Amino acid sequence: MRMVRMLMDTPVTVSKKKSFLSYFLRSFTLKNIQCRWLIESLLKNDYLLENIHFVSTVDGFPKGCIISTTCTTGISFQFHKKHVVSNNIEQFFHEIRLHPTELTYIELNFKNSSTNQVYQSLITDQYFIKENDIWKKELAAKTDEFLSTYKKEYLKKQIDDALDNQDEERFLFLTKQLQKYINKKGLI
């Protein structure tokens, strides 16, 4: 039976992350010994752990890594940032040290990870979704603003052309269109 974690609005604390990672190192053998060094380094640097989030899968996240234990199949370590993929652990550590405020997502593959209650309580897939939703809303607002500005400027140019061509009928039609558009959008 697979446990499903309820979405939480409160972020996972650095203390909880450290506690789990310490347990993880004590309980499992990593496929790549350098991953132990990486996790130990994270445990020593709270500021790095602040923007580290554990996820069920790193697929679709902008920056993340996969770390696996010997009791699982699959890759031992993989890091990606956007479309660049690497198995270089030092490169990953360098990346998170250079950009400690960027969100980084880690997928841990270990035996019974899907039923480990402590690990499941750390899974924060929803933070990317929320961040992505905010980004989409901001993009939509900027797009609307751009289109409004473009339409208003386009109508003004058409009005100028009608004046230049002394086309009174077109001028009156376009000024009414512009006025309707301004009133509808609440523009000045």
Residues 10-19 as b/e (b if ≥16 CB within 10 A, e otherwise) read eebebeebee
Token pair for 167: 């086309």
Mean model confidence pLDDT for the chain: 84
Higher pLDDT, 136 or 151: 151
Specify burial of residue 64 (Cβ count, 10 A radius: 0-12, 13-18, 19+): buried
Confidence of residue 74 (pLDDT cuts 50, 70, 90): confident
Are 124 and 54 within 8 A, CB to CB? yes
Higher pLDDT, 82 or 34: 34
The beta-carbon contacts of 179-187 under 8 Å, at least 24 apart in sequence, are: 181/151, 181/152, 181/155, 182/152, 185/148, 187/148, 187/152
Are 114 and 67 within 8 A, CB to CB? no
Look at residue 186 in the predicted model and tell me its pLDDT: 66
Higher pLDDT, 169 or 150: 169
Q: What is the pLDDT averaged over residues 12-22?
A: 93
SS3 track for the chain: CCCCCCCCCCCCCHHHHHHHHHHHHHHCCECCHHHHHHHHHHHHCHHHHCCEEECCCCCCCCEEEEEEECCCCCCCEEEEECCEEECCHHHHHHHHHHCCCCCEEEEEECCCCCCCHHHHHHECHHHHHHHHHHHHHHHHHHHHHHHHHHHHHHHHHHHHHHHHCCCHHHHHHHHHHHHHHHHHHCCC
Token pair for 99: 């950009």
Q: What is the pLDDT averaged over residues 24-51?
A: 94
Which residue's entry shows tokens 């199949």?
Answer: 73
Confidence of residue 134 (pLDDT cuts 50, 70, 90): low
